[in-house]
Amino acid sequence: MECLVCNTVCHDFMDEKMGLECHFCPFCKLIFKSPKQFSSLAIQKERYDLHENEESDKGYQAYFQRFLDFVLPLVGGPKSALDFGCGSTSLLSKMLNKEGIKCDYYDPIYHPDLSCRQKNYDLIISTEVFEHLHNPKEVFELLLSQLSKGGYLAIQTQFHDNSVEHYLSWYYRQDPTHIVFFAPETFRVLCEMFGCEVVGDNGKNMVVIQKGFN
Mean pLDDT for each 10-residue chunk of the chain (214 residues)? 98 96 98 87 64 76 96 97 94 96 95 92 97 96 98 98 95 94 98 97 97 90
Write down the pTM of the prediction: 0.93
> What is the model's pLDDT at position 69?
98
Instruction: For residue 20, report the phi and psi dihedrals to the nearest 5 degrees.
Output: -150, 155
**Rounded distance between C-alpha atoms, residue 23 and residue 33, angstroms:** 6
> What is the model's pLDDT at position 195?
96
**Rounded distance between C-alpha atoms, residue 104 and residue 81, angstroms:** 6
Q: What are 147-184's pLDDT values in tens digits? A: 999 999 999 999 999 999 999 999 999 999 999 999 99
> What is the model's pLDDT at position 185?
97
On whether the CB atoms of residues 150 and 213 are closer than 8 A, the answer is yes
On whether the CB atoms of residues 49 and 91 are closer than 8 A, the answer is no
